[in-house]
């Protein structure tokens, strides 16, 4: 009952089923189901739609008053009980190796409340491995790239978009194109392009180049780290996020390609069939706040 009252309170506060689902890290049908349960339980209408906004009925206003009090008491009790705990299991955080390495400071601020209250263990994997962890129910949620063509992820999980990033042309500082003021897609003709093992990231790059009708020679490598080492030693190029290349690294340069933009979205992928603990919900909120900003 308490979880349903919490859903009702959040819906009343934000006035939108969609926003309530985002705040609760659940699906919109789950929010609707909780509200219907309460309306059946109290045998009265609690919310109505008015001017595209969810508003409370008279009985709904009464329920919200007491629901907020109950939720407040429960949270107070939970805080007192948590503070008395001697040992607390760490929260398992699953995320792409790229995000773990390049956004570590943003994600794990020792001063943030959730980082102080509950320890965490970081599990960094490639995209393929993260999918497996989710499908095997080993991960309740993961911070990872979002690819629209991955229908299994799109259809089976709740996705909270976090941030979008552009893939830049990365090449050696000694590469002939590195000195060009403007680089066009046609300048890449017949060049070797290095790609990671992710078929979805490969698809983004290949679609962009085929859209410009540029014939290139693709070479597959394990990950961004290996690609960077390869770029330093030959005339190949690659497309990677700017974060991968350190500003202090004088051996590689990032350049835009005129008239061509490749973007990748990153987000929080949550398994709707697994219940999150309060500590896990706190980390999800923290991750969303940090990476969305």
Residues 97 and 145 in one domain: yes
The alpha helices in the chain, defined as continuous H runs, are 2-14, 17-24, 28-42, 58-83, 97-102, 104-107, 113-117, 127-135, 151-156, 199-211, 224-231, 278-292
Residues 151 and 221 in one domain: no
What's the whole-number average pLDDT of the chain? 88
Q: Give the integer Cα–Cα distance in Å for 66 and 68.
A: 5
Asked if residue 268 has pLDDT above 50, the reply is yes
Please report the pLDDT score of residue 93 as a whole number.
Answer: 94
pTM value surpassing 0.75: no
Read off the pLDDT of residues 179-202 as tens digits, 9 standing for 90 and up: 899 999 999 999 999 999 999 999
Asked if residue 67 has pLDDT above 50, the reply is yes
Residues 196 and 72 in one domain: no
Read off the pLDDT of residues 50-63 as tens digits, 9 standing for 90 and up: 888 888 888 888 88
Domain count for the chain, please give it. 3
Residues 57 and 97 in one domain: no
Residues 107 and 251 in one domain: no
Please report the pLDDT score of residue 255 as a whole number.
Answer: 94
Domain endpoint, select from 55, 83, 111: 83
Of 69-83, 124-138, 161-175, 258-272, the one with minimum mean pLDDT is 69-83
Structural domain boundaries, residue 280: 91-158+271-292
Residues 201 and 216 in one domain: yes
Helix (H, G, I), strand (E, B) or coil at 116: helix
Residues 146 and 277 in one domain: yes
| CATH number of the domain encompassing residue 245 | 3.40.190.10
Residues 205 and 224 in one domain: yes
| CATH number of the domain encompassing residue 108 | 3.40.190
Asked if residue 9 has pLDDT above 90, the reply is no
Please report the pLDDT score of residue 293 as a whole number.
Answer: 66
DSSP letter for each residue of 197-219: S-HHHHHHHHHHHHHTT---EEE
- The band of 150, judged by pLDDT with boundaries at 50, 70 and 90, is very high
Residues 98 and 146 in one domain: yes
Domain endpoint, select from 53, 83, 113: 83
**Neighbour count for residue 266 (Cβ, 10 Å):** 21
Asked if residue 206 has pLDDT above 80, the reply is yes
Domain endpoint, select from 83, 110, 140: 83
Residues 25 and 57 in one domain: yes
Read off the pLDDT of residues 85-104 as tens digits, 9 standing for 90 and up: 445 678 899 999 999 998 88
Percent of the chain scoring above 70 in pLDDT? 94
Residues 150 and 284 in one domain: yes
- The band of 5, judged by pLDDT with boundaries at 50, 70 and 90, is confident
Q: Give the integer Cα–Cα distance in Å for 228 and 210.
A: 24
The residues with which 145 forms a beta bridge, in sequence order, are 266
| CATH number of the domain encompassing residue 72 | 1.10.10.10
Residues 201 and 242 in one domain: yes
């Amino acid at each position: 009952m308490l979880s349903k009252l919490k859903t009702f309170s959040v819906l009343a506060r934000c006035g939108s089923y969609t926003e309530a689902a985002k705040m609760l890290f659940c699906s919109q049908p789950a929010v609707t189901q909780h509200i219907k349960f309460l309306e059946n339980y109290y045998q009265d209408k609690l919310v109505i739609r008015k001017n595209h906004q969810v508003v409370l009925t008279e009985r709904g206003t009464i329920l919200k008053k007491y629901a907020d009090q109950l939720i407040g008491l429960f949270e107070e009790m939970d805080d007192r009980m948590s503070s008395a705990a001697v040992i607390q299991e760490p929260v398992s955080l699953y995320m792409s190796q790229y995000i773990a390495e390049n956004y570590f400071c943003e994600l794990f601020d020792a001063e943030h409340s959730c980082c102080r209250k509950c320890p965490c263990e970081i599990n960094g994997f490639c995209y393929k491995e993260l999918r497996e962890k989710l499908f095997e129910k080993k991960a309740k949620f993961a911070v990872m790239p979002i690819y629209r063509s991955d229908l299994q992820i799109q259809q089976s999980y709740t996705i909270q978009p976090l941030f979008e990033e552009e893939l830049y042309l990365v090449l050696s500082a000694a590469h002939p194109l590195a000195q060009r003021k403007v680089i066009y897609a046609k300048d890449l003709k017949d060049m070797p392009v290095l790609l990671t093992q992710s078929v979805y990231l490969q698809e983004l790059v290949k679609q962009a180049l085929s859209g410009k009708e540029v014939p290139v020679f693709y070479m597959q490598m394990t990950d961004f780290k290996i690609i960077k080492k390869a770029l330093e030693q030959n005339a190949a190029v690659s497309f990677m996020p700017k974060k991968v290349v350190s500003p202090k690294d004088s051996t590689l340069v990032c350049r835009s390609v005129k008239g061509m933009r490749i973007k990748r979205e990153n987000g929080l992928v949550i398994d709707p069939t697994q219940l999150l603990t309060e500590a896990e919900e706190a980390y999800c909120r923290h991750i969303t706040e940090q990476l969305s900003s």
